[in-house]
Amino acid sequence: MKRSRQQCLSGRLLAVMLVAALAVPSVSAAEWYDAKTGVPPIELDRAKALRFFAENVYGVRPEWKSERHAEVVKTEHVDELSATRKVIRLNTLTPLGEKTFEAVGYFPDGVKRAPVFVYLSFRAATETKNSRWPLKLILARGAATVAFCYEDVVKDDAKVLDGIERADNAWGAISAWSLAASRVIDYLVTDGDVDPAKIAVVGHSRLGKTAIWTGANDERVAMTVSNDSGCFGARLHARNICGETIDRITAVFPHWFAPNARKLYKGMDENGTLPFDQHSLLAAVAPRLLAVGSAADDWWACPSGEMAGWEYARHVWKDQTSADYHVRPGKHDINSVDWNAYLDFAARKGWFGETTSEASTSKQEGK
């Protein structure tokens, strides 16, 4: 029996849902094909998994033959942040042709070769007061951070690609936003203020899906962070509880995906016949770091299904501490609680000297 949204929001049901959603045996990756879990087998061949998701979900990127450009157009010190701000102008390719966009980066004073967190932003990267991108919190850890607004690359409009002919496997907006993130990384690996071995990509919601696609494809991404990414993100389709479906997401946001995503798979997640699931994509990040975050009241994304995606995928990592998960109270958002979880995870993996958010708070308060 399908639960109502009100029932799903009940805090008392959460623990039961998490257990029911997982229902995963304790098996190794090698034994996974034989597990009777009701979830499609995980694809352990990374290249094969990426080809499948490109062809059938996010779209195949065409070859880009034009010259690539990245230029720092402005540098200034921001005293209140104890950091240097750089504005970087880059070109990228989209389904609508070549596009120029700007990213804004903050590099903390006194830190040589800093880790950097690339944040895929819903808002203009020029804004310094953005609760979803807490600059002071990030910089206090000794990390740099760079952001760009996704709509500066491709507008998030269901009709944005209507004027062009699209093959069934044509790439969509998520893949274009992902390529823009990789273009930012193209610049970062040349910047002497950045540790090129410690680059993270962070995204929330639809941009959490984008972060996963970026981290799975671009091996320069040392840490992939998916926050509340839901359907076609970290959530298992086979463990969805009253969340978004393939039918709904591909009807409302057709520009995000290859046409194949709807043409081939509409309704299959609801009747239990879907031949793949998102754990295969999460596993493509291994052995690099993966962090999945959920919100307890975010049932459209479905926290239990996101946790299940992480749980089913993490067996691929030889060091399972390299795949992290957290769930916080509250609704669909990314906030300082989430950022502290991701920064703490990076700290545990040796990205900077501090190891806990408490230590970082003391540093910010001058204790």
The contacts of residue 216 (CB under 8 Å, 6+ apart) are: 49, 50, 53, 224, 281, 282, 284, 285
Tell whether 28 is covered by a domain. no
Tell whether 171 is covered by a domain. yes
Tell whether 12 is covered by a domain. no
Total tally of structural domains belonging to the chain: 1
* pLDDT tens-digit series, residues 32-58: 433 456 799 999 999 999 999 999 999
CA distance 201 to 208: 9
Tell whether 16 is covered by a domain. no
Tell whether 126 is covered by a domain. yes
Instruction: Give pLDDT, residue 67.
Output: 94
Instruction: Give pLDDT, residue 26.
Output: 47
Instruction: Give pLDDT, residue 190.
Output: 98
Instruction: Give pLDDT, residue 22.
Output: 53
CA distance 37 to 24: 6
The CATH number that applies at residue 309 is 3.40.50.1820
Instruction: Give pLDDT, residue 36.
Output: 52
* pLDDT tens-digit series, residues 247-276: 999 999 999 999 999 999 999 999 999 999
Query: Higher-confidence residue: 17 or 219?
Result: 219
Mean pLDDT of the chain: 90
Token output for 151: 């709509």
- 6 falls in which pLDDT band (50, 70, 90)? very low
Query: Higher-confidence residue: 139 or 354?
Result: 139
Q: Check pLDDT > 70 for residue 8.
A: no
Tell whether 346 is covered by a domain. yes
CA distance 283 to 29: 10
Tell whether 6 is covered by a domain. no
Instruction: Give pLDDT, residue 21.
Output: 53
Query: Higher-confidence residue: 9 or 44?
Result: 44
- 128 falls in which pLDDT band (50, 70, 90)? confident
DSSP E strands in 137-236: the ranges are: 144-149, 194-204, 223-227
- 353 falls in which pLDDT band (50, 70, 90)? low
Q: Helix, strand, or coil here: 306? A: helix
- 198 falls in which pLDDT band (50, 70, 90)? very high
Instruction: Give pLDDT, residue 38.
Output: 79
- Please calculate the CA angle 258-261-263 and round it to the nearest 5 degrees: 105
Instruction: Give pLDDT, residue 364.
Output: 43
Q: Average the pLDDT over 156-177 and give the result.
A: 97
Q: Average the pLDDT over 138-158 and give the result.
A: 98
* pLDDT tens-digit series, residues 84-109: 999 999 999 999 999 999 999 999 99
Tell whether 269 is covered by a domain. yes
| Residue range of the domain that includes 207 | 38-365
Query: Higher-confidence residue: 104 or 66?
Result: 104
